[in-house]
Structure 1
């Protein structure tokens, strides 16, 4: 387990000048029409780390690597290395060979000297402004069954064969760049979006043999889908671990944000707590409204049964409590160390980017993993940290990128 423990007003000095400017504008308006203001279009959001801008961070020895944090991160980095060496880096920052010296050294590095490993082999870089937002996730455990039986009526679907990537006929050839969208072909052969959460809940996939398990509580299962993996405990005491297999291609909508906009959660009188626990309490106490809220998130996650150690992240290696984060691979090489400082001290230190998430989009957006059980649920459900993020890249990367 990781060593982290949870736990100017405007002045009046400019007023005379402001009045003079206002008087001048009034005179101009009296003499003739003002030149109309030209609206400048907003710059498109960066799609990779290179577009966001990569800048040198502080000297690596200025960073504090707590021994326990560094030890756990080193272990996770070693597990990531085989994938890191073979994986194409979508951020455009590194190649597999860039990581080979650090991975080779990591394999035999003394665990007791883990902080020096990161100081020796890496340099710090900032992507964009470096301002980070970090949430939390965990591995939930809910009641489930391998077979449908009374009290276990909510299906857990495996990945359907008709969920494919293709270009709709309405998209011109010149615009067909990147990955095609996910969807399905209808009876007429037209490519259309895949079924929504509501359609799936209403039986769009029933009777096709896609069920890999059944669960008792649709609300608990909704939050397990948000986490992306979890454990099903059967009445007989068996534990079935399930992991992310795919998603229906529909946009993810965080119902917490929707509820906050509507004044249902927050800090006001009569509101529910702005945490996973508060959201769940509202849904329990308002079942009809809660079901409608959950359906506003049209995204549906498909699962597969997992064997082996720990839930698997997008890097296909186990994610570890307190040392693994989910990140957007367009901005962070999956497998790379990330150094966080935040207004939540349990986030401070070095993590390894080993996972992705539907809501984890953009530079400096992370989701920290806290393990399984009630403590993990409590920490992850209330996690919302803001601070700074640094990528730890192999030494020499910044010079190659031309940033120093």
Structure 2
């Protein structure tokens, strides 16, 4: 969905600087949640991993020759391993991930809910104490695909920041819509091309406009990401910032405009920056490119408080996403709220870190497949638009 990649060091440093204030603010939230808690549990030495019992809904793999404790879920096979297999485990800044973990505890999923009191207490612990607790209470499983040869892939997504007008203007004429009133009774709803060309589709959306942006590719990006931040100019000149959150779609299939351009032989760099460069050079074909993706996303307005602004939008788990520490996964293979060790060496980002599975997406399918939430704004968009790297994952499951 977001192919290609470029230079690693500059992209990594941009993410670090971009997220520092966000993560510092989020750490305060975690500290406040822990202040009234009981003291930390005593630290105990790590013990060798033992095969955990199968999680609820997960059945032991009925395949001869597999090691004891191997379990299957969805498209994935989980193989129990030692903590020493996790690359970079001793060096990660775990407190950053703990902020995301505490957020997951707002909507805990079994069996992780039982750990949440301890997770909250440990939000003010040292990294060594957090690591010792993890090795005591969790068992790492290497995630493998059930089907040999299945793709392992890390991509990125972000929250766009756009300027918009509440009413159409000479510069801003591309509408962003609320969910149509008849969306529940007409499934699938009109395609993108039909919305632009059929009088009955346009009539159904009349009065459903939230705001107008200048660039149809920015509107498409907002729809692909599923949400975004918008600075809206009101008719009286006031400017306010809101979040446009996912409200639904026309339930048409998603088609990548990048893949369409590759099939057309129009470009070789199907990253988002490459797509925008092609559009600037070929304005007469932009409409054709947009229509190649029949899927349209509709939005709802949400206020953006100071606390909301420190996190991303709510993911499919129902909790706000944390930049650099939240991922979208195939929910049939990895349950929401699961801590995951992620390793992805690449020219754009070199990642060995703890993340939390808090979201999903129609394009996120497969056992070893994740979409990495980068943050918000143009710099995050540049990284997310280029991120496409190999991936290894370990789920960390309660013993």
Shared fold per TM-score greater than 0.5: yes
Rg larger in structure: 1
Q: Establish whether residue 260 from structure 1 lines up as the match of residue 225 from structure 2.
A: no
Q: Establish whether residue 112 from structure 1 lines up as the match of residue 126 from structure 2.
A: yes
1:286 is displaced (CA, Å) by: 1.0
Q: Establish whether residue 314 from structure 1 lines up as the match of residue 308 from structure 2.
A: no
1:188-203 aligned within 5 A: 193-202=188-197
Q: Is the 8 A contact 2:369 2:391 kept in 1?
A: no
User: Which of these residues, 315, 322, 325, is aligned with residue 323 of structure 1?
Assistant: 325
Q: Which residue of 2 aligns with 1:222?
A: 220
1:220 is displaced (CA, Å) by: 0.9
Residue deviations 1:159-193 (CA, integer Å, cap 9, x gap):
223222xxxxxxxxxxxxxxxxxxx44xxxxxx53
Q: Is the 8 A contact 2:323 2:373 kept in 1?
A: yes
Residue deviations 1:139-174 (CA, integer Å, cap 9, x gap):
11122123334432222111223222xxxxxxxxxx
Q: Is the 8 A contact 1:328 1:361 kept in 2?
A: yes
Q: Establish whether residue 84 from structure 1 lines up as the match of residue 86 from structure 2.
A: no
Q: Which residue of 2 aligns with 1:299?
A: 295
Q: Establish whether residue 140 from structure 1 lines up as the match of residue 135 from structure 2.
A: no
Q: For 2:274 and 2:108, how far apart are their aligned partners in 1?
A: 38
1:300 is displaced (CA, Å) by: 0.7
1:111 is displaced (CA, Å) by: 3.8
- More displaced 10-residue stretch of structure 1: 256-265 or 74-83: 256-265
1:115 is displaced (CA, Å) by: 3.1
Q: For 1:366 and 1:330, how far apart are their aligned partners in 2?
A: 13
1:121 is displaced (CA, Å) by: 2.5
Q: CA RMSD in A?
A: 2.5
Q: Which residue of 2 aligns with 1:374?
A: 378
Residue deviations 1:192-211 (CA, integer Å, cap 9, x gap):
53111112233614454222
Q: Is the 8 A contact 2:179 2:248 kept in 1?
A: yes
TM-score (norm 2): 0.71
Q: Is the 8 A contact 2:341 2:353 kept in 1?
A: yes
Residue deviations 1:103-123 (CA, integer Å, cap 9, x gap):
121010134233334333222
Number of residue-to-residue matches in the alignment:
310
Counterpart of 2:358 in 1: which secondary structure? strand
Q: Which residue of 1 aligns with 2:231?
A: 233
Q: For 2:108 and 2:385, how far apart are their aligned partners in 1?
A: 30
Q: Which residue of 2 aligns with 1:92?
A: none
Q: Is the 8 A contact 2:75 2:366 kept in 1?
A: no
1:362 is displaced (CA, Å) by: 2.3
Q: For 1:317 and 1:51, how far apart are their aligned partners in 2?
A: 23
1:213 is displaced (CA, Å) by: 2.0
1:61 is displaced (CA, Å) by: 4.5
Q: Is the 8 A contact 1:6 1:379 kept in 2?
A: no
Counterpart of 1:234 in 2: which secondary structure? strand
1:133 is displaced (CA, Å) by: 0.4
Q: For 1:237 and 1:68, how far apart are their aligned partners in 2?
A: 40
1:6 is displaced (CA, Å) by: 5.5
Distance 1:51 1:223, change over 3 A: closer
Counterpart of 2:285 in 1: which secondary structure? helix
User: Which of these residues, 393, 396, 399, is aligned with residue 392 of structure 1?
Assistant: 396
Counterpart of 1:143 in 2: which secondary structure? strand
Q: Is the 8 A contact 1:325 1:354 kept in 2?
A: yes
Q: Which residue of 2 aligns with 1:5?
A: 12
Distance 1:141 1:53, change over 3 A: closer
Residue deviations 1:74-116 (CA, integer Å, cap 9, x gap):
111111123123xxxxxxxxxx2x1133212101013423333
Q: Which residue of 1 aligns with 2:177?
A: 157
Q: Is the 8 A contact 1:49 1:127 kept in 2?
A: no
Q: Which residue of 2 aligns with 1:336?
A: 338
Q: Where do 5+ consecutive residues of structure 1 fail to align?
A: 8-47, 86-95, 165-183, 186-191, 267-272, 396-404
Q: For 2:372 and 2:315, how far apart are their aligned partners in 1?
A: 12
